[in-house]
Every structure is written in structure tokens, then in C-alpha cells.
Amino acid sequence: MATLTDGVITLRPPGDEDVDALYRECQDPEIQRWTGVPSPYHRANALEYLERVKQEAAAGKAIAFVAVDGDELLGSFSVMELDKAPHYGEIGYWVAASARGRGVASRAVTLLRDWCASGLGLESIELLIHEDNQPSQRVAERTGFLDTGERRPAPRTESDGALNHAVYVWSSA
């Protein structure tokens, strides 16, 4: 599995050594609010997550990374839906509260976007962002993703059908 860096942050595959940090960071109500992580979030959820990302990578469905600066966990970033359509993927992420406002999301999304295009041959990459999540919308715009104007229900969760996730797309064409 790839390890990506821009010299400031590193994206590497998550491992058993990350369980405690994942558990700790996913207690953050903002992560639970904007993502599909379980709420409440238990240590067992971190263990299940690590097992699921191994299975999804082996099946060619998704590739997960954690963003780190030395030993500090900065966030979680994944490219998903790799089996949905040829040359397509969706990036999803969260950033630890202590790392917000430091450019982590923009750096990591750029690293992952570029790797997806050059390493995986993706031509179309989407970000699905809740319409009220202004910080993530700014990340999308800073990293070259364009708001399509389309709205969809929350991805990969039990949804009430509300079309409240903005679709941002980046295309290599």
C-alpha cells in the first residue's frame, strides 16, 4: 500500500497502532456530525474500521489512509467507491480537532487526488459534503473541486432521503 507525503504531512495506511488515536479523535461531536462514523463511537468501532478497510482494499472497493505528522494523528482520508464505475472514486475524510485550521485537509485531499489520478488512473473524483459544512466546502474549492449544483442523500449511511450533500467533482479531462 502506498505512503504519500508532501514533506509536511504523510498519508499512510492505518494500522493497529492507530486504534487508540482513532477512538480518541472520533469522540469529537463534529466528526460524528459530518461523517458516517458511529455515534457513540466505541473502541470496538475503531477495531471494526481497521478490519473493514483491509477487506475493502483487498476487494478493490476503497483505500484508506491516516494523515500523520510524526506520531500525531491528524485525520483519516479514504478513496472509496472504486468499484462503482471505471476511473471513478470518491474521497471522504475527517480532520482531528487539534489539526483543524492548519491546512491538513487541503494538503491531504491534494495528495490523495493527485495520487488517485496518477497512481490509480482515476479521471473523475467526487467529494460529497453536507451543505452546512462550510469548512469542507472551502477545502473542496481550494483543491480544485467544482460544485456541480447536484444534491444527494448522505452516502453509505441509513438516510432519511434528504438531498443535503453537495457534490463537488474534480476531473482530469
Supply the pLDDT for residue 157. 75
Domain that includes residue 138, residue range: 4-171
For the chain, the residue count is: 173
Sheet with 124-130, strands from edge to edge, namely 4-5, 10-12, 63-69, 72-80, 88-95, 124-130, 165-171, 146-152
CB 168 within 8 A of CB 146: yes
Q: What are phi and psi of 4, to 5 degrees?
A: -120, 145
Query: How many domains is the chain built from?
Result: 1
CATH of the domain at 153: 3.40.630.30
CB 77 within 8 A of CB 109: yes
The list of the chain residues with pLDDT below 70 reads none
Q: How many CB atoms lie within 10 A of CB 115?
A: 17
**Dihedral sign, CA of 13, 15, 21, 22?**
positive
The grid coordinates listed for 135 are 469548512
pTM, entire model: 0.93
Supply the pLDDT for residue 162. 80
Q: Which long-range contacts (CB under 8 A, 24 or more apart) does 81-86 make?
A: 82/120, 83/59
For residue 78, the cross-strand partners are 64, 92
pLDDT in tens, 87-137: 999 999 999 999 999 999 999 999 999 999 999 999 999 999 999 999 999
Supply the pLDDT for residue 139. 97
